Amino acid sequence: MAHDGYDDNAVVLKHSLSTRIFHWGLILGFLPAALTGIIIWLKPGSEDLVGLAMKIHIVGAWILSISCVYFFLFCYKRVVVFWRTAFNWTADDIKWMSVSGGYPHKIFLGKTIPVPPMGKMNSGQKMLGIMVFFGTLVVIVSGWLLYAFLPMVPKEIAHYADLLHLFVGLFLTLAIICGHIVLSVYNWSECVCMFGDGTMKVSEAAHHNELWVKNEIEPVKK
């Protein structure tokens, strides 16, 4: 169905190249580091397995760190936009969060309930973005502290850095895998958009990001 002023085949660039590269870095860096971190913590197998997990963990940490530094240095304007958006909460955001965007009703009950219209980021993405921002900062700083500077760090500080790295990392892993990734796969067009060419149909964007489509995008004149 065509959205106001757009035909059925109209597409919009929702995610720029820099944003997509950053998300690929998160996938290739965070997920391997998170999953191997659990292996290092629980030690379910041989020393060789744990040793291999540690090597993969370090490589993942490098990829994650480089991705974050790249985004902050070269895409700082997008970081500013993210901050403005993520911390801009209205009554509609509270209403959206009170029903979790209607996703539990859709997934578990097969019902669609009315939810407030959202901008480019919905309320759940805002909250997750804030948690991931601060959480990733904590795991990167504590991880590098334990990896590169351990001989120079007092034992007590190293102990608390290790605990912080573990529990914040576990929290992020659960939030991203059980929340963000599950809903991204559920909203498959959004997943393809982020990890593809960044475009999606205007009609699909309007379904999830009605205010963004209505107020912020404009048709390109041919």
* pLDDT (tens digit per residue) in 171-205: 999 999 999 999 999 999 999 999 999 999 998 99
The count of domains in the chain is 1
Domain holding 37, by residue range, is 11-215
CATH number for 121: 1.20.950.20
Q: What is the pLDDT of residues 96-152, one digit of tens each?
A: 999 999 999 999 999 999 999 999 999 999 999 999 999 999 999 999 999 999 999
Contact 57, 32 (CB under 8 A): yes
Residue 220: inside a domain, yes or no? no
Residue 5: inside a domain, yes or no? no
Residue 190: inside a domain, yes or no? yes
Residue 78: inside a domain, yes or no? yes
d(CA 24, CA 20): 6
Sequence-distant (≥ 6) Cβ neighbours of residue 25 within 8 angstroms: 63, 64, 66, 67, 68, 70, 71
Residue 4: inside a domain, yes or no? no
**pTM, to two decimals:** 0.89
**Sign of torsion, CA 177 178 180 182?**
positive
Residue 65: inside a domain, yes or no? yes
